[in-house]
Amino acid sequence: MPHLFSPFTLKGVTLRNRIAMSPMTMYRSTDGLMNDFHLMLAGSRAAGGFGLVFLEQLAITKDGRTSVGCGGIYDDAQIEGLSRVTRIIKDMGAVPAIQLGHTGRKGSELKPWQGGDQLPPDHPDGWQVVGPSAVPYGGKYKYPVHALARDEIKAIHRAYADAARRAVDAGFEWLEMHFAHGYLGSSFFSPLANKRTDEYGGSIENRVRYHLEALDAVREVWPERFPLTMRLGSDDLNPMGVQFEESIQAVGMMKQHGLDLADLSIGFNTDEMEPKPFADMSFMVERAARLRRELAIPVATSWNLGLPQVADKVIRDDLIDLVMLGRPALSNPHWPVWAARELEHEDPFSLVPEDWAWWLRNFRAHDSCIGWPLPEAPAAVQLKRA
């Protein structure tokens, strides 16, 4: 029976466990380049025991970023910085993963702690946002959206392929397409954003055409031995938006075009969602398990899986294949080791590099004083909780 710390093999890649660090936008880039911050962030999580380590979503075009502080893979000059990050991830025993995306009508933003407002196209740090149709998202996304013409869609697909080729050169071994969270792929899929009447709009077959052509473009250059996966906005939680049953159809079509795993999330093509389950424990797992059963394709998901007992259970119950952790990975770079201690793994320090593990296993002092308290430390050394 698989569990949280079981290896997982997909195509020619084997992860040492079922724990993945999700892509998270960090707003620390200049000109889309990786720097020492990204080296620290990814390297420490790989050293902390994660089996699969993603960087943030990397934009396939300059105007595909969320903000001017976001990372990209649209220029060959960005390969060197990305290569430094993939090398440290591998050296620490994890698999380096990349998420390719385009923010579409949700781009051209200020950083969140600067207010997060969308900037107008004529602002020095802004640009013209694009989408399947000239439909602004609403709220803070208030500026006109340029509806992509067919030749512009084709150019974006070429940009996906160029980005995938750079990803190979940079040393990545797992590639995910970002088709969720209201970004460009998600908006093509959703009737809330896609009002087209040509071959890219209307029926589900047309609305998923953008995704299939993007997968085909990447599949031509991405090595067959490496997994090609996708994060899909599988439900808009709105009666006028994407319904989960449509996502099952869409993933079935993507599987025929070389998709190896589906990473399921929410569409976020509108703020008008009902119900809003975001505080519910593991709320995406039921959907993911259903898709896995019906399509016989590996699945991953995130959303409130940060408790070790919950993360382990959804793997043991054979519901999903990978647990994706975002904020838990930010708050605790050694989350896998902590989880192993909580779950009474026979050798928690087997998850860290061997030189670190040697010191941690051979510490000549009280076990509860090495920074990872025992699940049931002696009462005399437990601090009273307020």
Q: What are the tens digits of pLDDT across the range 181-194?
A: 999 999 999 999 99
Check pLDDT > 50 for residue 110. Answer: yes
Q: 61 or 375: which carries more pLDDT confidence?
A: 61
Check pLDDT > 60 for residue 287. Answer: yes
DSSP label of 16? S
Q: How confident is the model at residue 385 (pLDDT cuts 50, 70, 90)?
A: very low
Tell me what the mean pLDDT of segment 53-67 comes to.
97
pLDDT tens column, 124-164: 999 999 999 999 998 889 899 999 999 999 999 999 999 99
Check pLDDT > 60 for residue 386. Answer: no
Cα gap 38→221, rounded to integer Å? 26
Catalytic one of 74, 183, 200, 210: 183
Check pLDDT > 80 for residue 374. Answer: no
Mean pLDDT, all residues of the chain = 94
Cα gap 111→19, rounded to integer Å? 29
Tell me what the mean pLDDT of segment 227-237 comes to.
96
Check pLDDT > 80 for residue 97. Answer: yes
pLDDT tens column, 5-21: 999 999 999 999 999 99
Cα gap 338→374, rounded to integer Å? 10
Check pLDDT > 60 for residue 36. Answer: yes
CATH class of 8-347: alpha beta
Q: Please choose, from the candidates 123, 116, 156, the residue with its C-alpha nearest in 3D space to the C-alpha of residue 137.
A: 116
Check pLDDT > 70 for residue 380. Answer: no
Q: Given this model, what pLDDT does residue 376 score?
A: 62
Cα gap 76→81, rounded to integer Å? 10
Q: Given this model, what pLDDT does residue 356 score?
A: 87
Which residues make beta-bridge pairs with 96? 53
Check pLDDT > 80 for residue 263. Answer: yes
Residue spans of alpha helices (H) in the chain: 36-47, 79-91, 150-170, 184-189, 204-207, 209-219, 244-256, 285-295, 308-316, 327-331, 335-342, 354-361
Cα gap 363→194, rounded to integer Å? 59
pLDDT tens column, 332-368: 999 999 999 899 999 999 999 999 899 888 866 777 7
Q: Please choose, from the candidates 101, 82, 260, the residue with its C-alpha nearest in 3D space to the C-alpha of residue 171.
A: 82
pLDDT tens column, 300-337: 999 999 999 999 999 999 999 999 999 999 999 999 99
Cα gap 101→188, rounded to integer Å? 13
Check pLDDT > 90 for residue 40. Answer: yes
Task: Classify the C-alpha dihedral 76-88-52-54 as positive or negative.
Answer: negative
Check pLDDT > 70 for residue 60. Answer: yes
Q: How confident is the model at residue 80 (pLDDT cuts 50, 70, 90)?
A: very high
Name the phi and psi angles at 301, rounded to 5: -160, 170
Q: 118 or 364: which carries more pLDDT confidence?
A: 118
pTM: 0.94
Q: Given this model, what pLDDT does residue 70 score?
A: 97
The Cα-based distances of 191 to 243, 246, 368 in angstroms read: 10, 11, 55
Check pLDDT > 60 for residue 89. Answer: yes
DSSP label of 11? T
Q: Given this model, what pLDDT does residue 381 score?
A: 44
End-to-end CA distance of the chain: 40
Q: 2 or 219: which carries more pLDDT confidence?
A: 219
Whether 160 sits among the annotated catalytic residues: the reply is no
Q: How confident is the model at residue 87 (pLDDT cuts 50, 70, 90)?
A: very high
Q: Given this model, what pLDDT does residue 373 score?
A: 64
Q: How confident is the model at residue 1 (pLDDT cuts 50, 70, 90)?
A: confident
SS3 68: coil
Within 13 A of 295's CA, how many CA atoms are on the CB side? Answer: 26
- 325 and 22 in contact (C-beta within 8 Å)? yes
Which residues make beta-bridge pairs with 138? 141
What is the CA 233 to chain-centroid distance, rounded?
12
Instruction: Please tell me whether the peptide bond between 373 and the residue prior to it is cis, using omega within 30 degrees of 0.
Output: no
Burial of 290 (0-12, 13-18, 19+ CB in 10 A): middle
Check pLDDT > 50 for residue 121. Answer: yes
Cα gap 186→165, rounded to integer Å? 23
- 266 and 235 in contact (C-beta within 8 Å)? yes
**DSSP letter string, 222-283:** S-TTS-EEEEEE---SSTTS--HHHHHHHHHHHHHTT--EEEEE---S-S--SS--TTSTTT
Q: Please choose, from the candidates 299, 340, 336, the residue with its C-alpha nearest in 3D space to the C-alpha of residue 321.
A: 299
